[in-house]
Structure 1
């Protein structure tokens, strides 16, 4: 038994060592057209080198790398970043047991990333659309604050998935009962009460019986992060009047603010630009689905970009299952007036900037090696991914759909249910 344990331990160490060696290998993609997501926006016949999960060089004088990939006639982009969905928190939308993005008891402290499943079959599907990272958000309307949004990697590695809190979420939307006015009032009241606590003299904060400073409650800690700009407030809303209410909250409490949904944003684009507030929209929203969305148009992304707003793009509807289509949404935004470079930024660096992901969304020395090599224009349906790396580690592009296709096309004496 001891010999078996020693052998198992040595084998485990060997596998770990080989894994670390593979990650430590340097890789260069040469002669490619690179969309940097930064400045300059495009590099022709360029080279990018990465090692140990980080980009180490752009256009070095001499290419020295363990693996060299010829990128002639290829395009390299930063990994795309999805947002405002429940990727990894849902498997089958119609099956409640597979949904973890909401709860009737959820409040500002609700963090659905605790249930994030790196083995979800939707992650490989997202990777086929060039998605290397994503902003997951809680859903539900039971509390004034819905919970915590997080950045997650789309890697299917259970032990290496990156998860970071990036925002506090609230929805200002039509209420089936009551009024959205009460939600806005309650948010303002909670922020006011916490601000008063923070501004109170230290002696007033002490527990008179124990002579100690009171320990802040979990919700108070999160409210403090909002007030101290440690986390932004992500407001999901469409109506221009509600966007202006969110801007009032930002001004009153000096909050960092992000607006998502935002079909009404063009009507208040100047105010959003003056306040330097990022906007996350779906460029495919065209016709109003409610009285809140009367401004929905295919050209909204171009309109907002013309006001020099930081515009991020997302997929409307069931984004968790359709996130791989983000690049097609960006292509349609280009067809309706958004510049190509702005569209690439809107699915990479702009989303990273909005959520303070300083190492993501750009191809620059020192940034994370989240990279995609495309056979052609990434916003064209006919283009394919040839390589995709997350943190410098190449990812599989095989999906559950591929496996099912192969399973049922393979001839066997056994019924398909018995084949692997």
Structure 2
């Protein structure tokens, strides 16, 4: 058993380890850059952050050095762990095609932490995944949030249920002629009918005498959670017309929604801001065709300028290795109007806040998890390497997977 495999095996069983990280440039995502900075991690949690001259490192504690250190990256939306590295049906669990509406499907039941794709993104600084059922069905299932250092789904989960994933537009049309939904109007009508049915189910549950409740319905239970705002509706929509339909549906049922994809978001910025909607933006380098034909490389900068909360995502690709790398998607945004600091926040603290996990991850602050990504240069420069990934104070990657990966 090599060193990295051993570390991965034991890290899930440990509450956390102790480590000091010293970087020429330390970006905390919670304040200005610290030159010659130190992050002190004790028992898996950040215990001190500051200049090397001001932070005392306990004698004998391992010190890991890097040119640049940033908070562990948080992938805003992914299917990694459900969509595996191989282009084979046996490791593709991100989309169940037997019915258009399946909100009861839970991502945890399909996640494979041992898939090489998980270690691949981890080696590039991704420490937290918001992953699960992907777009391609009217309601494809649920998502959840997990750390990338664990091989067992029972460890490292930050949110066992995060959102219910839906799709509007061409991506949700039935693949067989004569099957529903075949049009946009049918999509909204089917969603509306399911939400109304869930409302009625919740009413009967509340009014029924004890012991005489209606039989459990897992589909309706999931949508009741959406109606009660316990789970947001994560809706993939690219066309402006579909985004506006989503906003109307959310207003009708008073839903918390998160917009995913949003290729034409720049056309409806005022409506998004008025609705107080957060956006998980499509991969910046996604191919501009079909519903995404009008995407813009400047959308991230426009969302930032409009004051609309957003995060970057890796998304899903139908070809090997099945995922983009959220670090590189963010990097391209810096070349198209988004500042370094704003890009970093949209890869760390931004998605952490959007997902409701900012008390644990997303920035390097005292009391938070000791998750750090280390680089040998500017993280957004393509020639830079991720030279270390730390999760809960454990060095879980030193870049070996990166150097051995094919793209």
Return the TM-score normalized by structure 1: 0.81
Q: What is aligned with 1:150?
A: 144
Say yes or no: does 1:138 pair with 2:130.
no
Q: What is aligned with 1:67?
A: 61
Q: How far did residue 317 of structure 1 move?
A: 5.2
The answer to whether the 8 Å contact 1:206/1:214 transfers is no
Q: 1:170 aligns with which of 166, 171, 175?
A: 166
Q: Deviations over 1:322-377 (max 9, x none)?
A: 65632222121111101111111111111112221231211111111111121211
**SS in structure 2 at match of 1:213:** coil
Q: How far did residue 21 of structure 1 move?
A: 11
Q: What is aligned with 1:310?
A: 309
CA distance 1:196–1:43, change in 2 (3 Å):
farther
Say yes or no: does 1:47 pair with 2:38.
yes
The answer to whether the 8 Å contact 2:315/2:324 transfers is no
Say yes or no: does 1:34 pair with 2:36.
no
CA distance 1:258–1:41, change in 2 (3 Å):
farther
Q: How far did residue 42 of structure 1 move?
A: 2.7
Say yes or no: does 1:160 pair with 2:122.
no
CA distance 1:360–1:321, change in 2 (3 Å):
farther
Q: Distance in 1 between matches of 2:85 and 2:50?
A: 45
CA distance 1:401–1:111, change in 2 (3 Å):
farther
**SS in structure 2 at match of 1:376:** coil
More divergent stretch after superposition (58-67 vs 227-236) = 58-67
Larger radius of gyration: 1
Q: How far did residue 22 of structure 1 move?
A: 7.8
CA distance 1:363–1:323, change in 2 (3 Å):
farther
Q: Distance in 1 between matches of 2:116 and 2:64?
A: 31
Q: Distance in 2 between matches of 1:202 and 1:281?
A: 38
Say yes or no: does 1:226 pair with 2:226.
yes
The answer to whether the 8 Å contact 2:316/2:323 transfers is no
CA distance 1:21–1:197, change in 2 (3 Å):
closer
Structure showing greater relative contact order (alpha-carbon pairs closer than 8 Å, 6 or more residues apart): 2
CA distance 1:302–1:62, change in 2 (3 Å):
closer
The answer to whether the 8 Å contact 1:130/1:385 transfers is yes
Q: What is aligned with 1:111?
A: 106
Aligned length: 380
CA distance 1:68–1:399, change in 2 (3 Å):
closer
Q: What is aligned with 2:186?
A: 182
The answer to whether the 8 Å contact 1:171/1:235 transfers is yes
Say yes or no: does 1:238 pair with 2:238.
yes
CA distance 1:25–1:80, change in 2 (3 Å):
closer
Q: Distance in 2 between matches of 1:287 and 1:103?
A: 24
CA distance 1:146–1:322, change in 2 (3 Å):
closer
CA distance 1:322–1:131, change in 2 (3 Å):
farther
Q: What is aligned with 1:276?
A: 276
1:181-200 correspondence runs (5 A): 181-199=185-203
Q: What is aligned with 1:363?
A: 364
| Larger helix proportion of the pair | 1
Consecutive unaligned residues of structure 1, counting only runs of 5 or more, are 1-14, 405-420
Q: Distance in 1 between matches of 2:149 and 2:258?
A: 26
More divergent stretch after superposition (343-352 vs 180-189) = 180-189
CA distance 1:41–1:171, change in 2 (3 Å):
farther
Q: How far did residue 385 of structure 1 move?
A: 2.3
Q: Distance in 2 between matches of 1:312 and 1:340?
A: 14
More divergent stretch after superposition (259-268 vs 25-34) = 25-34
C-alpha RMSD of matched pairs (Å): 3.0
